[in-house]
Amino acid sequence: MYLGDEAWPDLETYFETESLALVPLGSTEQHGPHLPEATDHLIAEAFAREVADRTGYLCTPTITVGVSGHHRQFHGTMWVEPPVFRQYVESLTRNLTSHGIDRVIYVNAHGGNVPHLREVGARLRLDETAFAIEWMWDESIPELVDDLFEQNGPHGGPKETAMIQYLESELVHDDRLEEARDTGVPDVDAAEGIKYGSRTFYDAADNTENGVLGDQTDATPEKGRQLFEAASDQFVQLCEWLAAQPFEDLLPKDHV
């Protein structure tokens, strides 16, 4: 069920009988010369809508701009400062709890959002308002990602390329895949951003001239389909597990 499509009287039954909501989040940021800036939030929304359709759980509108200041050197990247992002996500989540939601899954497709979503979730759990957790599609199927791609990125690499080829093929510049590979870097080690145990980089531009890593020519729509279906199955199982938990079991443990 997509919240934005419903009239308010038709949502009453859901809020009376269910306590779980899915909140898709991503970014609007550079993904190399071949992918749209919407890549992350398109992927997040696709998963949230798919699983909402399969399970009947509520999907909210998508948060399309995230913590992306580390991509700011590239044209068109949009971002908000981390405290603003955390405050917005927390306020939105508390809004959901006013309707009776007490557990939330942040359907996240942007790595830069992760620590901030974790912080928000921890605060909401600590004051026993809600249990909110973050889910990333590729982290639910790491073996499949490794099996399909020799150099999988992470950013703007073949796994994200394959996903957008499958979901929104018309937005992919397939004629630029070789350019993306040849003017980027193959992997994190090749970027040489870690020296003597220290992360010496702050921005994507410190590591890669064109903003991306990996071998984008290894992506295909069929691989994207495999990724999407496998991760969707994992996400469905997470939803069913979370919905079945007694709320008190999700709260912080008592002091020893």
Domain count, the chain: 1
What pTM was computed for the model? 0.95
Cis peptide before 142 (omega within 30 of 0): no
Residue 181 lies in a domain: yes
pLDDT at site 88: 98
SS3 label, residue 28: strand
Residue closest to 235 by CA, chosen among 13, 46, 5, 17: 46
Q: Round the average pLDDT of the chain to a whole number and report it.
A: 96
SS3 label, residue 103: strand
Rounded to a whole number of angstroms, the CA Rg of the chain reads 19
Residue 10 lies in a domain: yes
pLDDT at site 230: 98
Residue 249 lies in a domain: no
* E strands, 137-189, in order: none
pLDDT at site 152: 84
Q: Cβ-count burial of 160 within 10 angstroms (0-12 exposed, 13-18 middle, 19+ buried)?
A: buried
pLDDT tens digits for 139-195? 999 999 999 999 888 899 999 999 999 999 999 999 999 999 999 998 888 888 888
pLDDT at site 187: 84
Name the band, by pLDDT with cuts 50, 70 and 90, for residue 136.
very high
Distance CA 30, CA 39 (A): 9
Q: What is the DSSP letter of 69?
A: G
Which neighbouring-strand residues pair with 185?
A: 213
pLDDT tens digits for 18-72? 999 999 999 999 999 999 999 999 999 999 999 999 999 999 999 999 999 999 9
Residue 35 lies in a domain: yes
Strands 194-195 and 131-136: unpaired
Residue 223 lies in a domain: yes
pLDDT tens digits for 202-212? 899 999 999 99
Which residues, 6 or more positions from 82, have their beta carbon under 8 angstroms from its beta carbon?
67, 116
Residue in the block written with tokens 């992997």: 187
pLDDT at site 221: 98
Instruction: Check which CATH number belongs to the domain holding 68 and give it.
Output: 3.40.50.10310
Residue 254 lies in a domain: no
pLDDT at site 161: 98
Which residues, 6 or more positions from 63, have their beta carbon under 8 angstroms from its beta carbon?
23, 24, 25, 26, 41, 88, 89, 92
pLDDT at site 188: 82
pLDDT at site 109: 98
Distance CA 29, CA 251 (A): 35
Cβ pair 122, 96 in contact under 8 A = no
pLDDT at site 117: 98
pLDDT tens digits for 103-132? 999 999 999 999 999 999 999 999 999 999
The token pair that represents 56 in the structure block: 């009947």
Residue 253 lies in a domain: no
| Residue 89 structural domain | 3-243
pLDDT at site 194: 87
pLDDT tens digits for 207-231? 999 999 999 999 999 999 999 999 9
pLDDT tens digits for 231-244? 999 999 999 999 99
Residue 164 lies in a domain: yes
Which residues, 6 or more positions from 62, have their beta carbon under 8 angstroms from its beta carbon?
24, 25, 26, 41, 44, 45, 48
